Amino acid sequence: MKASLLLFKALAKNENIAVVGGGISGLSYAYFLTKLRPDLTVTVFEESNKTGGYIYSPIGYKKELPLKHNLNGAVEENFEKILFEKGPRTLRGKSDGTLIILDLLHRFKLTDQVYAIPKDSIANKKYLLSNGNKLIEVPNSFLRNPIVLLKFLMSPVFQFRKAMVNLICEVFRRKKGWSDSKMDESVESFLNRRLGKELSNIASAVYHGIFAGDIGKLSIKSLMPGMYQIEKHGNSLVGITLLNTKRNLLSIFISEQEKRVAKQKRNDNLLSKDIKKYEKFFFNKDLNLSKLSVLLKSIPMISFKNGLQSLTTALGENFSLSNSGKNRILTENGITQIDISEERNKIIVNNQYEFDYLKSTLNSPKLVKILENSTENLEKNGKIRNLIELMKRINYVTVCVGNIYVPRQDLLKSNHGFGYLIPKNYEKQTNNKEKLLGVIFDSDIEKSRKLLFNEQISRKLTNEELPNKDKIDKSANNKLFYTDVKFPELELDFNKEQLDYTKITAIMGGHYWSPSSNNQDVDKYDNEENVPSKSIALKMIKLAVSKQLNIELDDIKEKLIELEIVKNAIPQYEVGFIELREEIHQKVCEIYKDKVKLGGMSFSNGIGVPDCVLNGFTEALADSGIEEKEEPDK
């Protein structure tokens, strides 16, 4: 469900634009806007000393033992380079935003940074933590590994008998059949009612990994719009699934002509409307997005050699270099006040800068502080007070990111994979005092990944004539289908015996640290914010990881542990969020005469990196006003 982000009128020629926030949302919007409209002058304001926001991939150094000797016999200090991701680290393979990101990195000549996690890779194994600290592997598909599927179905996480009874009964259960478009419900309430508590508990782990949130508060309308629509029309979730399965099974009996028509439809629908628009304005002769879309179906995750920050760094550099130096990024330059001059029809920033239009990608706590600083406006305009109260209704969670590195040891033993998530009921049944949400096995990801744009694959991804015509099915019109392009498979060579280090990231806190959460160890927490100190958080992470992975971190002498507590890290799309966001957009348009718009994770669609990049493009395209005009210069 799209947020109302579009300007009522396009930006005028040669206008001066401010973008507030130098994270992935702000940088994406600024980059695309200046490419679509080179006549504009764009300034990005960033309060910290770096761009990228929560995307941060610092490289640290750890002194290794024993010390090495150089050719002259002198002792040489040997430092090991270690990459720690402090925020997001991988991208989901098949998504519109990922297509755009890979196209951008191709343009920036950074394809050597892009690595793929093949679907049969060790790093594509994902786990849920069961009671007794047992890791249960989650099947990636129903047919690829029937043994994994069977073990999962019989595990205490799935609870086969209860889950199957609930699935069978779902067809007959009451559906609300919502008639009011504003109706909403929590994910937990919806899944409990329709599919039972067992499947709801599994979903709680998934949303621990995405939102660090509580599905008892998160919105089904925002997070699962497909299920919401099925409920809205009074249909059965299981019934719809079985109907689609039946159609797929019957497809083997259709005629060749019908198969060609179906193949033509799949070929035409490879790219969404948004990506077709992107391709229209940013055509790349060396990278065919339809072919790339086919390739990404077999690649569940994308990783980066030097961390995800290489994307935001490249976006910032390419933005700054465009438009003959007119564009600029002002770091260590936070916004404290935003006013509107009705006389000059301008937006005034910090009583210093004048702009024709301002795009904010900040979260609502930061925006509230800015609005409260505008004392003159507050006194004159009660609408701003109302806007502040609306923004305060958006809740955020604080997360702790603990990076742990141990050289020359494999601590993961028989549980290699991407990592594990912890369901909500684990906290209830085993008293998860540490409030851990999940753990990522970074070393397994790094050991499993393969260069995506290798020579063979790069050749097949060009916009030249489709290769291997003799091997590709043709329709009656001799048309070649992108869906028939065959890509060479990426090698799998993960070797547990050759692992020379272990690197993991533990994620803690989230909704467990929200002010409304009932923390038992209240003395360990900041009473105002319900968040532990760094020293306490470090002890909690070490205790939880040691317990859940059956290792003793305190007994390991050689290790490096870094900790970051990120406040207000993730907005929570709670029940009623869509209507709340819509109301905020309308108030901002009304107060600032369409000269200020909001974006970013809090006010656009989705919180993932691909979501932010896609939103940056669609919002820049809408604001540019050139969609029906000539294509921009490349």
CATH number, domain of 172, equals 1.10.3110.10
Residue 430 is predicted with a pLDDT of: 62
pLDDT for 593: 87
Tell which of 247, 273, 299 closes a domain: 247
More confident of the two residues 424 and 29: 29
Q: Is residue 547 part of a domain?
A: no
* CATH number of the domain where residue 34 is located: 3.50.50.60
The verdict on residue 7 lying in a domain is no
- Report pLDDT for 439: 98
Do residues 331 and 234 share a domain? no
Q: What is the 3-state secondary structure (H, E, C) of 536-590?
A: HHHHHHHHHHHHHCCCCHHHCCCCEEEEEEEEEEEECCECCHHHHHHHHHHHHHH
Q: Is the CB of residue 404 less than 8 Å from the CB of residue 84?
A: no
Mean pLDDT value of segment 510-519:
79
Predicted confidence band at 195 (pLDDT cuts at 50, 70, 90)?
confident
Instruction: Give the residue-averaged pLDDT of 298-302.
Output: 93
Q: Alpha-carbon distance 257 to 321, whole Å?
A: 52
Report pLDDT digits (tens) over 76-102.
455 568 899 999 999 998 899 999 999
Query: What pLDDT does residue 606 have?
Result: 94
pLDDT tens track for 39-57: 999 999 999 999 999 999 9
pLDDT at position 64 = 55
Mean pLDDT computed over every residue of the chain: 84
Regarding whether 242 and 146 lie in a shared domain, the answer is yes
Q: Two tokens at 240? A: 């719809």
Gap between the Cα atoms of 60 and 66, Å rounded = 19
Q: Does the residue 215 lie in any domain?
A: yes
Boundary-marking domain end, from 198, 224, 247 = 247
**Lowest-confidence segment of 22-31, 163-172, 415-424 by average pLDDT:** 163-172
Q: What is the CA radius of gyration of the chain?
A: 26
Q: Say yes or no to pLDDT of 476 above 50.
A: no
Last residue of a domain, one of 222, 247, 272: 247
**Structure confidence at residue 474 (pLDDT):** 44
Q: Is 21 inside a domain boundary? A: yes
Cα distances (Å, whole numbers) of residue 617 to 26, 33, 53, 97, 99: 11, 8, 18, 9, 12
Instruction: Find the domain containing 44 and state its range.
Output: 16-54+308-394+574-624
Which of 101-110, 374-383, 472-481 is predicted least confidently?
472-481
Domain contains 277: no
Would you say residue 5 lies in a domain? no
pLDDT at position 523, please? 45
Residue 178 lies in a domain: yes
What pLDDT, in 10s, does the model give residues 213-268? Answer: 999 999 999 999 888 887 776 666 665 565 555 455 445 555 555 555 555 566 66
Residue 542 has pLDDT above 70, yes or no: yes
Do residues 151 and 242 share a domain? yes
Q: Same domain, yes or no, for 151 and 235?
A: yes
Report the number of distinct structural domains present in the chain. 2
Alpha carbons 353 and 64: distance in angstroms, whole number: 50
C-alpha–C-alpha distance, residues 602 and 366, integer Å: 11
Cα–Cα distance measured from residue 354 to residue 11, given in angstroms and rounded to the nearest whole number: 15
Say if residue 145 is in the same domain as residue 242.
Answer: yes
- Does residue 131 fall inside a structural domain? no
**200, pLDDT greater than 60:** yes
Cα separation, 299 vs 116, whole angstroms: 6
Q: What tens digit of pLDDT does each residue of 560-603 get? A: 999 999 999 999 999 999 999 999 999 999 988 899 999 999 99
Tokens 């599905």 belong to residue? 215
pLDDT computed for residue 108 by the predictor:
96
